[in-house]
Amino acid sequence: VAAAASRRRGRPEPPSDAGAAPHAPPSPPRRGAKKGAAANAKKAAAEVPVVEPLRWEQVAKVMPSMDAVVKVFCVHTEPNFSLPWQRKRQYSSSSSGFIIGGRRVLTNAHSVEHYTQVKLKKRGSDTKYLATVLAIGTECDIAMLTVEDDEFWKGVSPLEFGSLPALQDAVTVVGYPIGGDTISVTSGVVSRIEILSYVHGSTELLGLQIDAAINSGNSGGPAFNDKGKCVGIAFQSLKHEDVENIGYVIPTPVINHFIQDYEKSGEYTGFPILGIEWQKMENPDLRKAMGLKSDQKGVRVRRVEPTAPESGCLQPSDIILSFDGIDIANDGTVPFRHGERIGFSYLISQKYTGEKAHVKILRNSKVLEFNIKLATHKRLIPAHIKGRPPSYYIVAGFVFMVVSVPYLRSEYGKDYEYDAPVKLLDKHLHAMAQSPDEQLVVVSQVLVADINIGYEEIVNIQVLSFNGKPVKNLKHLATMVEDCNEEYLKFDMDYDQLVVLEAKTAKAATQDILTTHCIPSAMSEDLRT
């Protein structure tokens, strides 16, 4: 920062001693050279041209924009999936954000997830201002905040967005990472542009890979190009033993989509998807067997989501030839700028929920065209619970819950994809919801009591049916149990497990179990309405 400040004042940066690259040793002075050495040195110093630092222009342009970068303080209170009737102990975090037009601030969604209080602090200020969260976009990992206090907005110019940078373009990431309280500047270049896996959002969207360090606390900070325009938001880094300094930035097309989505509907509606699974058509025998001509290319539809609008027109083994008039290659890519290609899901992510797309397909050697309405993904096991408390229902000590990715992560840790039960993982990775309200209901745990003796070891096993009727979702199960007039409560579970309880005694024992464990209610608020 000191070096950057000296550049801002227009002075050349003084040569650094510590850690500098080794120089060639100076030649020994010739005999008789001492006479007039001082005069020669003076003359040589006058002849040496003042060399501008290589990145002076870039840093000078970023400097005025730095005042728009803010520090975000958040107090989080996460849901407790082991004890769903209460929340975990609150904790605090800090991250970065930046001011954009319309009295708004952007940061990362994971910076304010499960927030109870958010405060912002401007650079050089000692005041923290209370912020209001306007929208959280979990898929794209962006959140939008605002501040009511007029004082916060005085003397700050909002950042302007630049276009998508090219490979090897210089970028400067500004934020408040760990290791200090003041602003931090790291610089690098764009090393890759492709469809990336957004870890927090469990989605794949366009992303930039840069070789600048993005550390904890940098999240939500802007990435500037050499003209001082914002070209992205820092949001994750690659932690691996074989990797150094690989950071990822959310690019402007994704940011603009989030902002315009909010402006259109007053809330975040998400990124639409084409509700299919597809396979590449690179094998020539496969193409021939599917009836593709030599000049036709595309991808084969493997499965169609039953809940997606596409289920009305697309079928398995259809070949998708083009999307919105852009031809799709056999490997699923489309042209992207000069000399580059990118996955065709990029085209879909550019659209908005509810918009229509023109799709051309090949079915039984005939070309068909459809205008398909695009919608967001309805997963059987949702990637997020969107800030809501988890649903639960308790009867006779059996705690019934809905499986979601946060639930699996809470139960089995960050390596849940290796440690969770195989049947739940199979549903997570491959199962498709048959109806919009379908949920995967499990017995999370059994609160031990005399009534449930012998069932103590049932943990995270799916409930398939109750008294012979298939379980659609948790509310459906709770309603069936509450309204049951039969003698027994019979729960059929995965792995052919059977739980049988006498209805009257089971319902009577529930209240005592709730009292013992200090549980306020037998079911969560959302099931009571």
In eight-state DSSP terms, residue 368 is E
Residue 122 three-state SS = strand
Is 141 annotated as catalytic?
A: yes
CA distance 237 to 69: 20
Angle made by CA atoms 216, 119, 384, in degrees to the nearest 5: 60
Is 219 annotated as catalytic?
A: yes
Residue 285 three-state SS = helix
From 94, 95, 219, 345, the catalytic residue: 219
Written as one string, the DSSP assignment of 244-297 is -S-EEEEEHHHHHHHHHHHHHHSS-----B--EEEE----HHHHHHTT--TT--
From 110, 114, 257, 384, the catalytic residue: 110
Residue 151 three-state SS = helix
HSE on the CB side for 151, CA within 13 Å?
11
CA distance 3 to 78: 41
CA distance 340 to 241: 29
Dihedral over alpha carbons 482, 485, 488, 492 (to 10 degrees): -60
**Residue in the block written with tokens 């520090």:** 71
Helix, strand, coil abundance in the chain, percent, nearest 5: 25, 30, 45
Angle made by CA atoms 254, 260, 266, in degrees to the nearest 5: 125
From 76, 94, 95, 141, the catalytic residue: 141
Angle made by CA atoms 330, 335, 341, in degrees to the nearest 5: 75
Angle made by CA atoms 406, 408, 409, in degrees to the nearest 5: 60
In eight-state DSSP terms, residue 152 is G
- List the structure tokens of 314: 């697309």
- The partner residues of 172 in beta bridges, in order of sequence, read 187, 224
Active site residues: 110, 141, 219
